[in-house]
């Protein structure tokens, strides 16, 4: 199944139906209001404001649908889900268009406003829902006939794996095969010819069979370390719900009534995810432009404070376990940077005098707005760590992998409430705050963390 092609279908249909709805609305609008100002329908439709609206209004609807998160997941939609999603977005969009555009009309009676609103709302909802349901129904038919399907690799060969495989097959999924884990008993419940290998072979199996999704259905109670190892493949990973497992912090999803835990999703709604993405891009771009003089001044001071480069670069592990290069203003003497992975302590002798000032006010972090603009990081999210320390953290706190569901941030709840960590044990203590953020993440909480961060910067309590 081609997700990009399916998304384009929805976008094109939404644009076309919005354009048609606005054209039909203008025909009704002419008969209700505009006929008293324009000599003919043709003159009204050819008026520059009307023609401008014929292009801008459909684009406005696409923006609304984008921020609602509608295009994030082109597959897995249902007819009833389409109904409520379309109702919500069309209601919000129609109210906005009514107050911005339609309210400028001057009808002979205020009662005409009611009719105009319901004309607008009714046409937009009916045409949008009709277009969407046609695409969704076509996709569902293709899936039922097994012409379209998700290729699933099930990790596990026990009773749970067999049950999950049977249930998914009935729903139209293609069960590519099963993978044995090292912890499972030697006697598998799955037929031998369906076992493709062990967890050591997953990378080759994903490439050879073009797997779309991993399903973990092992009988073993402790699956945390296994799940952490699966993030490197950057495809959806779902876990069969078991009363024995610890995954209470993760959002529960369903595959057509089969309860599973999606361990590669976070607790943001699709709408919040898109709004956060937009804020990250706009804010980081504006800050990079506005703070350019400050960047130049700090660069000069860093260069004058000690020999070495202006910027410090280091590999960190980010979203879905993907490595990226993080940027900071250098705060240490160059010789100390060659000593390998070391955490910074209070009154660290490796930190230059000017570097201490930068750390106190968190100014060494501001080059990371470039990481945000690139998409490596977000304004708010758990701080990214080096793989060296992550490998040690997960031995004591295997649930750390949940933080890979969130794009790492310049600031975090852990940094605000705990600060810098000097040891792995302290990093695990700070992890409690990041997990608390993960459980309660929202745009409101992000704003709260940003306010706390600004307070930290201006009061100089960064260390």
Backbone angles phi, psi at 329, to 5 degrees: -75, 135
Closest by CA to 24, choosing from 146, 126, 100, 95, is 126
Q: Which of 91, 110, 144 is the endpoint of a domain?
A: 144
- Between CA 241 and CA 184 the distance in angstroms is 18
CA dihedral 393, 446, 77, 144 (to 10 degrees): 0
- Residue 222, CB-side half-sphere exposure with 13 Å CA sphere: 7
Residue 167 parent element (H or E):
helix 159-170
- DSSP letter at 349 equals T
- Residue 309, CB-side half-sphere exposure with 13 Å CA sphere: 7
Co-location of 64 and 139 in the same domain: yes
Co-location of 24 and 172 in the same domain: no
Q: Domain count of the chain? A: 3
Residues 6+ apart with CB under 8 A from 25: 119, 120, 123, 124
- Between CA 239 and CA 228 the distance in angstroms is 12
Handedness of CA 146, 152, 156, 160 (dihedral sign): negative
- Angle, CA of 246, 249 and 255, to the nearest 5°: 90
Co-location of 26 and 99 in the same domain: yes
- DSSP letter at 313 equals E
- Between CA 288 and CA 369 the distance in angstroms is 7
Q: What does R_g of the chain's alpha carbons equal in angstroms?
A: 27
Enter the tokens of residue 233.
Answer: 């493949």
Bridge-based pairing state of the strands 237-240 and 258-262: antiparallel
Co-location of 94 and 174 in the same domain: no
Query: What's the CATH code of the domain at 241?
Result: 3.40.50.720
| C-alpha 123 chain-centroid distance | 32
- Between CA 360 and CA 462 the distance in angstroms is 4
Q: What pLDDT tens digit does each residue of the chain (463 aa) get?
A: 688 999 999 999 999 999 999 999 999 998 888 787 788 999 989 998 999 999 999 999 999 999 999 999 998 888 898 999 999 999 999 999 999 988 887 666 778 888 999 999 999 999 999 999 999 999 988 888 888 888 999 998 888 889 888 888 887 789 999 998 876 656 678 888 899 988 888 989 998 998 989 999 886 656 777 777 888 788 888 887 654 454 555 555 555 556 677 778 888 889 999 999 999 999 999 999 999 999 999 999 999 989 999 999 999 999 988 899 999 999 988 876 565 566 666 667 788 999 989 988 889 999 999 999 999 999 999 999 999 999 889 888 888 888 988 999 999 999 888 887 888 888 999 999 999 999 889 999 999 999 999 988 888 765 5
Q: Which of 235, 262, 289 is the endpoint of a domain?
A: 262
Co-location of 172 and 102 in the same domain: no
- Between CA 262 and CA 265 the distance in angstroms is 6
Co-location of 286 and 188 in the same domain: no
Determine the 3-state secondary structure of 275 from DSSP. helix
Co-location of 337 and 403 in the same domain: yes
Co-location of 292 and 441 in the same domain: yes
- Between CA 269 and CA 292 the distance in angstroms is 34
Co-location of 131 and 169 in the same domain: no
Co-location of 298 and 430 in the same domain: yes
The two counts, helices (H) then strands (E), for the chain are 16, 11
Determine the 3-state secondary structure of 326 from DSSP. strand
Domain carrying residue 221: 151-262
Q: Which of 225, 246, 262 is the endpoint of a domain?
A: 262
Co-location of 123 and 36 in the same domain: yes
Q: What is the pTM of this model?
A: 0.84
* DSSP annotation string for 171-240: TT-EEEEEEE-TTS-SS-SS-GGGEEEEGGGHHHHHHHHT--EEEE--S-S--HHHHHHHGGG-S-EEEE
Co-location of 283 and 317 in the same domain: yes
């Amino acid at each position: 199944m081609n997700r990009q092609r399916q998304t384009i279908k929805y976008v094109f249909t939404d644009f076309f139906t919005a354009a048609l709805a606005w054209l039909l609305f203008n025909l009704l609008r002419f008969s209700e209001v505009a006929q008293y100002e324009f000599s003919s329908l043709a003159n009204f439709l050819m008026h520059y404001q009307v023609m401008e609206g014929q292009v801008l209004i459909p684009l406005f609807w696409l923006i609304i649908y984008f921020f609602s998160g509608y295009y994030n997941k082109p597959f897995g939609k249902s007819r009833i889900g389409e109904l409520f999603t379309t109702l919500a977005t069309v209601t919000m969009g129609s109210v906005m268009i009514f107050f911005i555009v339609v309210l400028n009309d001057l009808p002979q009676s205020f009662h005409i406003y009611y009719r105009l609103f319901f004309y607008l709302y009714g046409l937009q909802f009916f045409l949008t829902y009709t277009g969407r349901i046609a695409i969704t129904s076509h996709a569902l038919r293709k899936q039922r006939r097994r012409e379209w399907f998700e290729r699933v690799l099930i990790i596990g060969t026990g009773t749970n794996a067999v049950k999950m495989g049977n249930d998914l097959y009935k729903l139209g999924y293609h069960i590519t095969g099963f993978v044995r884990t090292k912890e499972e008993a030697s006697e598998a419940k799955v037929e031998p010819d369906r076992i493709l290998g062990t967890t050591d072979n997953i990378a080759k199996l994903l490439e050879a069979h073009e797997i779309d999704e991993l399903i973990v259905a092992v009988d073993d109670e402790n699956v945390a370390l296994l799940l952490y190892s699966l993030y490197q493949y950057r495809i959806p990973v779902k876990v069969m719900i078991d009363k024995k497992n610890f995954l209470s912090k993760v959002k529960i999803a369903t595959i057509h009534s089969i309860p599973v835990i999606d361990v590669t999703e976070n607790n943001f709604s699709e709408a919040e995810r898109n709004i956060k993405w937009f804020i990250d891009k706009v804010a980081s771009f504006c800050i990079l432009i506005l703070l350019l003089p400050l960047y130049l001044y700090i660069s000069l001071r860093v260069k004058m404070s000690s020999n070495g480069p202006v910027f410090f670069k280091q590999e960190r592990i980010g979203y879905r376990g993907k490595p990226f290069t993080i940027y900071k203003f250098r705060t240490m003497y160059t010789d100390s940077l060659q000593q390998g992975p070391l955490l910074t302590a209070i009154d660290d002798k490796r930190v230059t005098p000017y570097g201490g000032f930068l750390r106190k006010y968190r100014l060494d972090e501001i080059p990371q707005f470039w990481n945000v603009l690139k998409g490596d990081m977000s304004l708010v999210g758990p701080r990214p760590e080096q793989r060296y320390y992550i490998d040690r953290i997960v031995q004591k706190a295997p649930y750390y992998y949940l933080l890979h569901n969130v794009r790492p941030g310049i600031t975090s709840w852990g940094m605000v409430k705990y600060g810098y960590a000097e040891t792995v044990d302290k990093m695990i203590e700070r992890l409690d705050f990041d997990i608390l953020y993960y459980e309660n993440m929202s745009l409101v909480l992000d704003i709260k963390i940003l306010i706390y961060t600004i307070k930290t910067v201006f009061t100089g309590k960064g260390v």
